[in-house]
Structure 1
Amino acid sequence: MIDMQMPWYARVVFTGGRPFVLVAALVMSVPGEIRMAQLAGWHGWVTWLMPVAVSVYAGCAAVISEMRRRAKAPGRTTATVGAGVALALALSAQVMAHLIDQGYMTTSAALVAAVSSVPPLVVAHMLHMAATPSATLTAEAEMQELRESLAELLAEMAEAIDYDARALMSEAYGVRDSYEELAEDAAQLADEADENTDALVGHLAATGPAGREPSRQKRARKAVPLAVVEKAVAAMQADGVKVSGPALAERLGCSVRSGYRYLGDVQAA
């Protein structure tokens, strides 16, 4: 990233200096590469294509290699190797051309063969990089993988939510059943308390002061026979009605507490 606090002239050098240096280096490489083409046996305007096949190819390979490295696209390894080979060709072409011109070495069959093989190698590598799948295809594949992962995550979340909902419903039913059981137990306890109270009142009335008869006896509560209760329970089951203390009390026309008590008698029997 460019530092925005950089002086204006530094920004100008940074922005405009890079392409200028690149052009200058390419221009300076042209004579040596043309000389190598002449030594390998090319003549005329064809020799001017050698700088394109060496220096420009090296630049293209370097740019493609960096782009594919950043995008993590296929072919970045071969592009990097090609960029290195292209740089080595450009460097060796310059060095050998100047060594030959200055008389430090002479041409040879191996040198001619090596220089002559440059264009086919460049063509092969450029076609290879062109045929390699682009980063767009890789991005589409990554998006597909992301969609599949998201779908799996949503399915797992839906399953977990459904499981938790079922667990909460089960707990709610358990709490409701426990409440009904507690209500039945409370009604039975209340009936027992009423019976004990009635028995105590009757006993106190029967054992009043000596020589006196109680003026009034506690009227005994009329109980529903067990057979009648069983018949009512059977009728409710036949009608598909849930058998409970309140429902049985409504069917028998007694109190809810008595309904719980009668239901307990039937279950005990």
Structure 2
Amino acid sequence: MSATPWYIKGILYVALPAACVAALYLSIPGEVALARTAGWSEHYAPAMPVCLSVYALSAGAIATYRRKMELPGQVTALVGSLMALLLAMSAQSISHLIEQDYMNSSALLVVAVSCVPPLTIAHLVHMAETPARVKTASQQMAELVGMIDYLSVELTQVLSTHTDEALTYSRSLSEGYDKLTEDVKALGEDVESVAESIGTKLNPKRGGGPKKAVPEEKIKEAARELKANGERVTGPRLAALLGVGESTAARYISQGLATT
């Protein structure tokens, strides 16, 4: 859904309230004048605009709410809001006609204006007491079950998606680690071979030529000797006993040749 344009927001939150306040402010003099004409004193007459304005706003708001929520009493609330608008318009028109000497007050006018407050109160009380639609326990339970089912499906989909992604990433890391381990092992063997070759060339008499591979039994015997002395089988210690390079001893350990 697209966002509401800024100018629409301005109309909703600024223009409409400003127009309502201005309209209510302009209706005050005519409604006060009509209340005075009907016999109310200066002390009570200013309450007439409040009565009509609150009546109109309340009836309109209740009618809109009940229409959206599909509640009973929509018609009476709508009728009440229309009646309030008609009363406000009539009050303005009649008060201005009397002020301009186009008409005079009459008994019928006095009675009609005097009936506005009690009729307003009666209709507002009626709208407030209109019972709302009551949902049965089975309907509420069905709605709750439907909501739980919907949330369960959404949660399962989210968890499944993230689980698959995590497994894929884990497998990728594992494969990368295995390959890296193999590469490092091969590199270590190459380095050791090159080192031994260089050492032989630099000192041909050392060791009487290229070193021979240490027998597996000798490797295991050295490992048993270390364990018998309470030492761990590590590359440096195994290399010292066998007379080989530490990388070679480490390779023996990684290959499982140093197990007892």
- Normalised to the residue count of structure 1, the TM-score between the two structures is 0.49
Q: What is the distance in 1 between the residues matched to 2:88 and 2:137?
A: 40
Tell me which of 55, 68, 78 is aligned to 1:57. 55
Shift of residue 83, structure 1, vs aligned partner: 1.1
The 5 A counterparts of 1:224-263 are none
Give the 3-state SS of the residue equivalent to 2:43 in structure 1.
helix
Change (3 A) 1:145 1:18: same
The 5 A counterparts of 1:1-269 are 4-6=4-6, 11-134=9-132, 140-141=134-135, 144-145=138-139, 147=141
Aligned residues: 145
Q: What does the per-residue CA deviation read over 1:1-33, in whole Å, with 9 as the maximum and x for residues that have no partner?
A: 9853445xx643442111111111001111100
Change (3 A) 1:144 1:128: farther
Shift of residue 60, structure 1, vs aligned partner: 1.3
Q: What is the distance in 1 between the residues matched to 2:43 and 2:3?
A: 46
Aligned residue in 2 for 1:256: none
Change (3 A) 1:3 1:140: same
* Fraction of identical pairs, as percent: 43
Q: What is the distance in 2 between the residues matched to 1:4 and 1:21?
A: 21
Q: What is the distance in 2 between the residues matched to 1:49 and 1:120?
A: 13
- Normalised to the residue count of structure 2, the TM-score between the two structures is 0.50
Q: What is the distance in 1 between the residues matched to 2:19 and 2:72?
A: 31
Q: What is the distance in 2 between the residues matched to 1:32 and 1:2?
A: 44
Shift of residue 81, structure 1, vs aligned partner: 1.1
Corresponding letter in the other structure for 1:29:
S
Conserved? CA contact 1:37–1:47, under 8 Å:
yes
Q: What does the per-residue CA deviation read over 1:100-130, in whole Å, with 9 as the maximum and x for residues that have no partner?
A: 1111111111001100000010010011111
Q: Which runs of 5+ in 2 are unaligned?
A: 146-260
Q: Which runs of 5+ in 1 are unaligned?
A: 152-269
Change (3 A) 1:69 1:14: closer
What's the RMSD between the two structures over aligned residues? 2.6
Change (3 A) 1:16 1:149: closer
Q: What does the per-residue CA deviation read over 1:148-203, in whole Å, with 9 as the maximum and x for residues that have no partner?
A: 7999xxxxxxxxxxxxxxxxxxxxxxxxxxxxxxxxxxxxxxxxxxxxxxxxxxxx
Corresponding letter in the other structure for 2:65:
M
Corresponding letter in the other structure for 1:91:
M
Quick check: which has more Rg, 1 or 2? 1
Give the 3-state SS of the residue equivalent to 1:29 in structure 2.
helix
Q: What is the distance in 1 between the residues matched to 2:49 and 2:9?
A: 31
Conserved? CA contact 1:29–1:55, under 8 Å:
no
